[in-house]
Chain A
Amino acid sequence: MRLALALIAVFALVVVAAPARAEIEVNVNRGDVQPLPIAIPPFGGPQGPDIAGVISANLQRSGLFRPLDPSSFVEHDLDPAVQPRFPLWKQINAQALLNGQVTQQGGQLRVAFRLWDVNAEQQLLGLEFTSTPDNWRRIAHKISDAVYERLTGEKGYFDTRVVFVAESGGRGAKVKRLAIMDQDGANPSYLTDGSFIVMTPRFSSNSQEITYMALRPTGSSVYLFNLETGRRESLGQFPGMVFAPRFSPDGSKVAFSVEHAGNSDVYVMDLHNRASVRLTSDPAIDTSPSFSPDGRSIVFNSDRSGSPQLYVMGADGSNPHRISFGDGRYTTPVWSPTGEYIAFTKQTGGEFHIGVMKPDGSDERILTSSYLDEGPTWAPNGRVLMFAREAANGASRLWTVDVTGRILQPVPYPLGGSDPAWSPLLQ
C-alpha cells in the first residue's frame, strides 16, 4: 500500500502577527446558504491545472462554494508571491481567490498556494505542500481541506477515502467486491475478487483499518483488514452467523451481531484479548450497533417493539431505551463523528429515506427519498453523508447528501456500489 506517504505542510507563508478578521465566511449551519463565489485559476507549473481542477470540483461538490468559470478571469499567470490585482477579481464578483504554483525538484512536487479575500484585499492563507508527483491528487485534497477549514471554521473532509462494495451484474446475479476509492471517486481499487459475498465494510475512526463481513454458503465471517500492512484476520468462530461489525471510537473494540438459533443479539469484542461480551439478550432482532464518539453509548436496531426501531444503551448494555417514534421502520443507525446526530435509514410507505435525529430522538429530519436509499456513513466532519441508492431495476449507486438535505448528488464513481464507509482524515 502507498499510504505511508510523507505529505508535509512545510511552512506557512502567512505573516501571522495579527490575522486581520476576514470579511468573508461560509456559514455551514444554514440550509439556505448562498455558495461563496471563488476564483480558482489553473495553478502554474507541472500538473497545476489538474490540481486546481480537483480543488475546484471538491469545493463545488460541498455545495458551500461556487467556483467561477475560468474563462471569465481577466488576470492570468498569477504568481503566488505577488499580490493579485484585486479590482480585476472584484469585477467578476469573486469573493475569494485561490492561486498556486507547482514546482518539481529532486523528484518532489512542491505546491505553494495562497487564498485571498478579494473585497478585503488581504491574504487568508499561504501554505505549501510537498510530496511525490504521483500524490498530486492528495495534495489537491489537502489544499481543498485547508481552504474549506479557513473559510468555514470547520475541518474539511476531502483528503479521505471510502471503502464500499463494488457491484456488477443485475439483481440476482450481482458480483460484490470489497473496494476502496478516494472520496471523489478517483483511484478505485479492489480488495476481494468477487468469488464470495462481502458486505458492510466500516472504517476505524482513527486508523487505516476496516472491518467487514464475508458471506459464504458455509457461514459468515467478520474480518479485520489493515489497509497499510495488508494484514487480514478473522474475529473468530461463532455458533451462528456473525455480522454487522463496527469499531469503537478508539479502535480497541468491535461491536457486532451474533445469531444463535435464529435470534440475533449485539456483542462487543475487546480486540486486545479477543474476549466477547453479550450486550443484549432479547428474543427480538438486535443488530447494527454504532458507538457514540465518546464511546459511552451504543445505538442499535431492534424489532423488540414489533417493528424495527432505534435504541440507545450504555456501552455495557445497560438501560436500553427506544429513541425513534416516528411513523415508519428505522434501521442502520450511525452516530455522527461530532456526536450531534444519529443518521438512519427510514422506510415509510413504499419509499426509503436517509434521515438524521438527535441522540435523544428529537429533531428528526428526512434528507432523501427514493425507491431504496440505505446505509448512511458520515464524512469525518459530520457535515456530509454518503449512502447507497438502488433503482427499481436493481442498479445501485453511491450518493452524498449534506446534513441540511440541500445538496444531494451522485458520487463521481462511474460503476455500481453499495455499503459505503467513510475514512477519517488521512494522516
Chain B
Amino acid sequence: MVSIPDRKTALRLALVATAAASMAACASHPKPAYPTTRPSAAAPAPRGETAPPPAPVSQAAIPGSEQDFVINVGDRVYFDFDKFQIRPDAQPILDAQSAWLSKYPAVTVRIEGNCDERGTREYNLALGARRANAVRDYLVAHGVASGRITTISYGKEKPIDPGSGDEADQHNRNAHTAITGGAAAR
C-alpha cells in the first residue's frame, strides 16, 4: 500500500495510468489520444452513502472524500479546440461524476471551464463559460440537482500544463469539477 499522493501527483498518476485506455476509447476519434481521467475499473464501490468507512487502517482514499472523487471518478474532462461539446471520451467520466454526486448528495461542486492559450483573453473567458455550462447541463440531465452546481470560467488564466504545443494545449482545454463542500474529510 502506498501513501496517499497529494492531489497534484494523483492527477498526474491518473493521467499516465489511463492513457492507454483512452487511446482505445478514442479509436473512432480522429484525434490522437488525449490524456483523460477516467473512472478506474478498480474503483472501490462504497456500499452506502451514510456508512462511515471502517477505521482507516488502509491509506486508500476515503469513500466520499475529495481524493475518492479525484482518483476514482475523475475530476476533469477535455475538449477539442474552440469547442464546448462533450466528447464521447468525456461521457463515462461525467456519468461517473453524476453517480458519485448522487451517492453523496451533500457534496456541492464548482465547474471550472478552462481554455488553451491559443485564443485571446476575453473570447476564452466566454468559451470557458460554455465548457463549464456544458458539463453542468450534462450533470443536471443525469440527475444532479442544479442547485448543487456553480460554474465559472477561468479562460486561459489557469493552465494546468505550463508547456506549449499541442499536448499542453489539449491538457489546458478542460472543465474541472471542483468540490466546494460536503465531502468526507480525508
Contact = CB atoms under 8 A, between A and B. Distances in A.
Interface in B148-172: 151-155, 157-165
Nearest to A262: B133
A393 B164 contact: yes
A192 interface: no
Contacts of B165: 392
B129 A262 contact: yes
A422 interface: no
Contact of A390 (B117, B122, B136, B137): B117
A171 B117 CA distance: 10
A372 B159 CA distance: 16
A114 to B, nearest CB: 46
Interface stretch (A2-10, A57-65, A125-133, A239-247): A239-247
Interface string A255-285: 0010101111000000000000000000001
Given A199-B157, A262-B132, A217 B122 contact: no
A171 B162 CA distance: 5
B91 to A, nearest CB: 18
Chain B residues touching A, majority SS: mixed
Nearest to A173: B162
Interface string A273-303: 0000000000001011000000000000101
Contacts of A176: 157
A31 interface: no
A285 B126 contact: yes
Contact of B129 (A171, A218, A264): A264
Contacts of A171: 117, 159, 162-164
Contacts of A197: 154, 157
Given A170-B162, A243-B125, A287-B126, A217 B120 contact: no
Interface residues of B, number: 36
Contacts of A288: 120, 122-123
Nearest to A388: B121
Contact of B121 (A240, A259, A374): A374
A197 B121 CA distance: 12
A199 B121 contact: yes
A287 B157 contact: no
A285 B127 contact: yes
Contacts of A199: 121, 157
Given A241-B153, A262-B134, A332-B122, A172 B164 contact: no
Contacts of B117: 171, 372, 390
B122 A257 contact: yes
A172 B130 contact: no
B186 interface: no
Nearest to B180: A217
B16 to A, nearest CB: 19
A390 B120 CA distance: 11
A100 interface: no
A345 interface: yes
Interface in B95-135: 110, 112, 117-123, 125-127, 129-130, 132-134
A173 B157 CA distance: 9
Nearest to A261: B133
B2 to A, nearest CB: 26
A326 interface: no
Interface string A163-185: 00000001111101000000000
B82 interface: yes
A45 interface: no
Given A390-B117, A392-B164, A285 B123 contact: yes
Contact of A244 (B84, B125, B137, B159): B125
Interface in A209-230: 215, 217-220
Contacts of B133: 261-262
Contacts of B130: 262-263, 285
A253 B153 CA distance: 25
Contacts of B120: 288, 331-332, 345, 374-375
Nearest to A419: B121
9 contacts: A172-B160, A197-B154, A262-B84, A285-B123, A285-B127, A287-B122, A307-B82, A331-B123, A394-B162
Interface of A: 170-174, 176, 197, 199-200, 215, 217-220, 240-241, 243-244, 257, 259, 261-264, 285, 287-288, 301, 303, 307-308, 329, 331-332, 345, 347, 371-372, 374-375, 390, 392-394, 418-419
Interface of B: 82, 84, 110, 112, 117-123, 125-127, 129-130, 132-134, 136-137, 151-155, 157-165, 178
Given A172-B159, A372-B117, A372-B118, 13 more contacts: A170-B162, A171-B159, A176-B157, A200-B121, A200-B122, A215-B154, A215-B157, A240-B129, A259-B125, A262-B133, A262-B151, A285-B130, A375-B121
